[in-house]
Amino acid sequence: MNTVLIIINIAVLLLLMFGLFVMQKKHVSFSKRVFSALGLGIIFGYILHLIYGTTHEVTTKSIDWFNVVGVGYIKLLQMVVMPLVFISIVGAFTKLKLTKNIGKVSFLVIAILLGTTAVSAAIGIGSALGFGLDGIHLNEGEAEKVRNEQLTERAASVDNMTLPQQILELVPSNPFQDLTGARATSTIGVVIFAAFIGIAYLGVKRKDPGHAEFFAKIIDTIYSIIMRVVTLILRLTPYGILAIITKVTATSDYEAIAKLGKFVIASYVALVIMFVVHLLLLAFAKLNPYRYVKKALPTLTFAFTSRTSAGTLPMTIKTQNKDLGVSEGIANFAGSFGLTIGQNGCAGIYPAMLAVMVAPSAGVDPTSLSFIVMLILVVAISSFGVAGVGGGATFAALIVLSVMNLPIAIVGLLISVEPLIDMGRTALNVSGAMTAGVLTSKATGEFDETAYKQPDIIEA
């Protein structure tokens, strides 16, 4: 009987996917298809949750098959992340217009990412204090106990490393290994290696323009091919979102979420406020925030459902360049740096909130000015090298809590609501990277205002 029910569920998913395909054939806009997929996935997933629950065999085995579409789509995006990061950074150096401003561009992108992370930490602190969050009264169940044992082992590796050793971890000793994503800091390792290749190109360009021109053509050709692969994958976005959000709504533990509802609400209040800060920064730059929201929403929606900043990178770059008027080179820089530096949600708001919650248990007054200033500085500095994949926020929280000499057990106690909050954090991370790209492009005079004002999103 269960097998029949599983087949019916798979058939329903395929039917919904066919409906999205029909919408595509009728030239329904990309945004409408993405939000249709989101809505259908929420409804279908919640129906499965109501009928079978989260642990029933029908649910788990149906989700197993749904993962072929959802997880498969994320894996396709992750497949091109490392090649895209590498070729994007090198390509940024080979574009003549950008090389004139390379120092200014790098400084502005990093400064905006770190600056907004510091602001997000302050907002996280304010939200935790405003809602009166307290980590002392959180209960530890079996799942939380297992999680904390794992985190204790992971934190030991962080505690045993001095600051110079942590800095050395960012430097790539084997860039080919980093291209496989073997280390937690592989992404920033690839960025550093690509930057060295780019700097070397500039030196060769001065001494041997012929060789430099040949190299630039090779890079441009490879970049075009990789971006074509990205385009082919992005066309599958509505189907991926449908399967991913169906899984999320079907398997979420709503009782656990309700118990930790205060923390969830406080987290999303902080995330929304920080997103408004992004919009205010754009408004100060004399850009219409509404146009940004309209064009960025499909990308932010995917980041929200997939919970991976790295997997969203192809969409992040495409949205900046094609829809928001950011020059290609700066879009590459902002997107790639945004994976490893200054993630507003994962490395900013989350660690700051946890630190405030556990500070009283360590005998520290979380309202003291010295604690708040130190926490903001630690959060901003530790945001270097945070991996843009699932678990990046946990890593950031462990570093911050360890540096501040605060207990780390709270990270494991929030395991039941972690996926729900991580969705919003990831979307904010991506928004931070795109905001940095837009503001940098505007400041360096490499901004296409006509493209930004264009009302419609350019199809992949």
What pTM, to 2 d.p., does this model score?
0.81
Q: Which CATH class name applies to 2-453?
A: mainly alpha
Tokens found for residue 21: 């395909």
- Please report where in the chains the tokens 């969830």 appear, as a residue: 264
Question: Where along the chain do its domains lie?
Answer: 2-453
What distance in Å separates the CA atoms of residue 89 and residue 105, rounded to the nearest whole number? 12
pLDDT above 80 (res 56): yes
Helix 418-443, helix 309-318: angle, nearest 10: 30
Residue 286: other Cβ atoms inside 10 A:
8
300-311 pLDDT tens trace: 998 998 888 888
SS3 457: coil
Measure the CA–CA gap between 68 and 236, rounded to whole angstroms. Answer: 13
Return the residue matching tokens 């788990």: 60
**Residue 14 predicted with pLDDT over 60:** yes
In the block, tokens 């264009």 appear at 454
| 362 against 319, higher pLDDT | 319
Q: Is 315 helix (H, G, I), strand (E, B) or coil?
A: helix
Q: Report how far residue 298's alpha carbon sits from residue 288's, in angstroms, rounded to the nearest whole number.
A: 18
Q: What is the pLDDT of residues 246-294, one digit of tens each?
A: 998 898 877 767 777 888 899 999 999 999 999 999 999 999 999 999 9
Q: Quick check: 121 pLDDT over 60?
A: yes
Q: Is the pLDDT of residue 128 over 50?
A: yes
Nearest-angstrom CA–CA distance, 406 and 376: 15
Distance from C-alpha of 269 to C-alpha of 275, rounded to nearest angstrom: 10
Amino acid identity, position 176: F
User: Tokens 């699932």 correspond to what residue?
Assistant: 390
What is d(CA 306, CA 445) in angstroms, rounded to the nearest whole number? 34
User: Could you report the per-residue pLDDT of 343-394, keeping only the tens digit for each?
Assistant: 898 889 999 999 998 888 888 888 999 999 999 998 888 777 565 445 567 7
- Tokens representing 54 are 């989260």
Residue positions counted in the chain:
460
In the predicted model, what is the mean pLDDT of residues 163-188?
75
Q: Kindly indicate the confidence band of residue 148, based on its pLDDT and cuts at 50, 70 and 90.
A: very low
Range from 123-127, 175-179, 187-191, 329-333 that averages highest in pLDDT: 123-127
Closest listed residue to residue 10, CA positions, set 56, 58, 76, 49: 58
